[in-house]
């Protein structure tokens, strides 16, 4: 496996990783684009619409005989480069729902010369989100279901997202993978431990919301954000925290 901001060359295990370099609060050190295979290649999450990153991908794929672009979900930091890359290479874009030129459903199979990839429906971070199992390597490309650092990812934006997220963690865990490849941050070589860590964080947040609503009936998301996060919350994260707590309130009330 190789990792780089520019063309990393060949790898012996059929996996190359290129970082788009779009560092940020939500992207960590940037979006990691995973290339599986050498001649028949799947490009998982081509990243943001950055001409430099697209050019690097095109160069890295110069020897491929067939390329398919796969999306885990439609957020711009994952999918922005999909169209320009596909147009340059004349290849298909596949993803959940309406995120790709060709919809890819749960259990959909994508061949590569390094082993097939299998789509797994894993909503939560987004209502339409896929992970990709790589059975030949006992690995899963998890998109934004988990990050390579910390214990949380953004879960908000639609009704039922928290329930979906917990179910999706269980679904990936049931595969018993030996490696997880997030789109942000380094690979997770202790998958079960990582999944349990992310689950525990979400359950802890649920418990904080339940206790907050019990002690202050009628409290809104803004009040609970202050209670849960306090003054340590970065200014750029406030809106995301409010949306997250709104989703937790919905979950807590549904399970009251």
φ and ψ of 44, to 5 deg: -95, 120
Buried b or exposed e, range 16-50, using 16+ CB within 10 angstroms: bbbbbbbeeeebbbbbbbbbbbbebbbbbbbbbbb
Cα–Cα distance between 240 and 175 in angstroms, integer? 30
> For position 231, what pLDDT does the model report?
83
Question: The tokens of 60 are what?
Answer: 């890295």
pLDDT of residue 55: 98
pLDDT of residue 236: 83
The answer for residues whose C-beta is within 8 angstroms of residue 218's C-beta and 6 or more apart is none
Q: How much is the pLDDT for 18?
A: 97
| Residue numbers of the chain with a pLDDT score lower than 50 | 1-10
The strand pairing partners of 109, in sequence order, are 118
CATH code (residue 139): 3.60.15.10
Give residue 3's pLDDT: 44
pLDDT tens for 22-63 read 999 889 999 999 999 999 999 999 999 999 999 999 999 999
Q: What is the mean pLDDT of the chain?
A: 93
Number of structural domains the chain divides into: 1
Name the DSSP letter for residue 90.
T
Rounded Cα distance between 155 and 123, Å, is: 9
Q: What is the pLDDT of residue 12?
A: 53
* Domain housing 77: 2-254
Q: Look up residue 176 and give its two tokens.
A: 């018993």
Interaxial angle between packed helices 161-174 and 238-254, expressed in degrees from 0 to 180 and rounded to the nearest 10: 90
Distances (CA, A) of 21 to 35, 53, 63, 141, 223: 16, 8, 24, 19, 35
pTM of the entire predicted model:
0.94
Give the per-residue pLDDT at 32: 98
């Amino acid at each position: 496996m190789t990792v780089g901001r520019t063309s990393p060359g060949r790898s012996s295990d059929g996996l190359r990783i290129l970082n788009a370099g779009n560092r940020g609060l939500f992207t960590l050190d940037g979006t990691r684009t995973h290339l599986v295979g050498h001649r028949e290649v799947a490009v998982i999450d081509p990243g943001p619409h950055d001409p430099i990153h697209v050019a690097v991908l095109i160069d890295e794929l110069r020897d491929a005989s067939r390329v398919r672009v796969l999306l885990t979900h439609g957020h711009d930091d994952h999918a922005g480069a999909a169209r320009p890359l596909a147009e340059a290479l004349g290849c298909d874009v596949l993803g959940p729902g309406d995120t790709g030129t060709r919809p890819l459903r749960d259990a959909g199979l994508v061949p590569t010369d390094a082993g097939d990839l299998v789509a797994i429906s894993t909503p939560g971070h987004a209502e339409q989100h896929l992970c990709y199992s790589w059975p030949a390597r006992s690995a899963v490309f998890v998109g934004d279901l988990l990050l390579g650092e910390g214990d949380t990812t953004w879960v908000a934006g639609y009704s039922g997202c928290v329930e979906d997220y917990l179910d999706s963690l269980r679904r990936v865990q049931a595969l018993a993978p030996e490696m997880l490849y997030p789109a942000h941050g380094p690979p997770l070589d202790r998958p079960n431990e990582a999944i349990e860590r992310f689950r525990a964080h979400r359950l802890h947040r649920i418990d904080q919301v339940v206790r907050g609503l019990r002690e202050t009936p009628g409290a809104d998301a803004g009040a609970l954000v202050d209670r849960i996060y306090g003054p340590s919350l970065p200014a750029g994260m406030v809106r995301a925290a409010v949306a997250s707590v709104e989703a937790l309130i919905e979950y807590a009330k549904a399970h009251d």
